Amino acid sequence: MAEFEHRLGAVLAQRREQQLYRRRLTLDSPQGPIVRLDGADYLNFCSNDYLGLAAHPRLVASFRQAAADYGVGSGASHLVCGHSRPHQQLEEALAEHTGRSRALLFSSGFAANTGTLATLLQRGDSVFQDRLNHASLLDGGLHSGARFRRFAHNDVVDLARKMSAVEGPRLVVVDGVFSMDGDAAPLAELAALCRQQDAWLMVDDAHGFGVSGDNGAGTVAAAGLGQDDVPVLMATLGKALGTGGAFVAGSDTLIEALIQQARNYIYTTAISPALAAATLTSLTLLREESWRREHLAALIRRFRQGAEQLQLPLMDSQSAIQPLLVGDAGTALDMSQSLRQRGLLIGAIRPPTVPAGTSRLRITLSAAHSEEQVDRLLEELALCRPQ
Ligand SMILES: *Cc1c(COP(=O)(O)O)cnc(C)c1O
């Protein structure tokens, strides 16, 4: 069938023409403020390793020890015989850390979101999602069989209007911190609306867990909301926690239903027990090394102050995600490339990841950065901005 080859080739050609073609980098170093790429060192402002834990010596030591004790591969899905002691301990620790009855590990955030939405929703239900929700939430909602409605970004009034127009069970789904904009969802208002309308609220805290709230318990805890307010809490482990995988936390009923029904949970191999053990150490570090959150917060303030003085196009974000709005995809790509030539790694985020005309440099800060590195970033941004 030459048809498939031809069609795929046409899509690639079009992407190239529109400056939307994506390429992967191949790193020859661990994640960190400085990474090695094609034989040179780069200042890294594009990873989601917000606390600098991905290569932390204690995580590496836990991973090594658990690999020696439990092996590298889990060997099976959780329901067959892939669920080992480190997985169990991690689930219990995650439930405690988030103040939930129980937690359930998934092999990725994408699987957790699509699997949870497929399990929760059925025909006759309605799901309401912020337009800027992560692709995995949008896909999960679209494929769930429920009526699917998007509401304007962070617009509780628009959501309330759309919710009151439908009958039947309703689920509202938002990112706690939006991955490409860095701004936070108005969780207290959303929770109040859901309570008033007798709807459930699901929060994807991929970018808040580990970073916001006491001990890094996340944006939901920071907003003072518990399990009754946010019955479905999801977060990933591959960002601030520095490892990989994800979890969903909530009531015993929710977790048991996911174990019995979520196809993305049942029909997939459990993450490595060594990864689970390393993540347990991340949770310990969240409690013991609160300086990481404090230093990150100070760097965010420093960056925003400096960028304001330089009149760079900052977005309304208080998180570690500090995008600069460029607009045109080609310009964003050119800026990213000239920064690369000057030794800085910053991704150009273009459609379809963000709406057309809102291409941006997605700058991410980490507790592993120094103040000097942030100052260098500001200097280079001032030099490369479009004149
Ligand atoms: C990264 C991310 C995911 C996906 O998590 P993975 O573990 O990388 O699959 C889901 N939701 C949001 C908001 C994310 O940023």
- Tallying the residues shown for the chain, one arrives at 387
- Residue 64 makes CB contacts below 8 A (sequence gap 6+) with 274
Catalytic, 77? Answer no
Q: Is 6 annotated as a binding residue?
A: no
Is residue 67 packed enough to be buried (19+ CB in 10 Å), middle (13-18) or exposed (0-12)? middle
pLDDT, position 60: 98
pLDDT recorded at residue 387: 60
Q: What is the distance in A from the centroid of ligand 1 to the CA of 268? A: 18
Residue after which a domain boundary falls, among 256, 288, 320: 288
User: What's the CA-to-centroid distance between 223 and ligand 1, angstroms?
Assistant: 21
Q: Would you call 207 a catalytic residue per the annotation? A: yes
Residue 331 lies in a domain: yes
Atom of ligand 1 nearest to the CA of 136: 10
Do 42 and 112 fall within a single domain?
Answer: no
If asked whether residues 89 and 209 sit together in one domain, one would say yes
- Give the residues surrounding ligand 1 with Cβ less than 6 Å away: 108-110, 113, 134, 136, 175, 179, 204, 206-207, 236, 238, 246
192 — phi, psi (to 5°)? Answer: -65, -45
Does the reported pTM lie above 0.85? yes
85: phi then psi, degrees, rounded to nearest 5? -55, -45
Residues 70 and 161 in one domain: yes
How many domains are there within the chain? 2
Would the annotation count 179 as a binding residue? yes
- One domain for residues 367 and 317: yes
Please pick, among 56, 162, 239, 369, the residue that the annotation labels catalytic: 239
**Is there a single domain that holds both residue 45 and residue 65?**
no
Do the annotations mark residue 63 as ligand-binding? no
Q: Which of 134, 183, 203 to mutate to test the pocket of ligand 1 (most atoms within 8 A of CB)?
A: 134
Q: Is 239 a catalytic residue?
A: yes
Both 156 and 281 in one domain: the answer is yes
pLDDT tens for the 387 residues of the chain, in order: 789 999 999 999 999 998 888 889 999 999 999 999 999 999 999 999 999 999 999 999 999 999 999 999 999 999 999 999 999 999 999 999 999 999 999 999 999 999 999 999 999 999 999 999 999 999 999 999 999 999 999 999 999 999 999 999 999 999 999 999 999 999 999 999 999 999 999 999 999 999 999 999 999 999 999 999 999 999 999 999 999 999 999 999 999 999 999 999 999 999 999 999 999 999 999 999 999 999 999 999 999 999 999 999 999 999 999 999 999 999 999 999 999 999 999 999 999 899 999 999 999 999 999 999 999 999 999 998 866
Is residue 237 included in any domain, yes or no?
yes
In a domain, 17, yes or no: no
Structural domain containing residue 29: 22-50+290-384
Question: Using CA positions, which residue lies closest to atom 10 of ligand 1?
Answer: 109
Q: Are residues 271 and 348 in the same domain?
A: no
The verdict on 32 and 114 lying in the same domain is no
For a pocket test of ligand 1, which of 47, 48, 136 has the largest count of ligand atoms closer than 8 A to its C-beta?
136
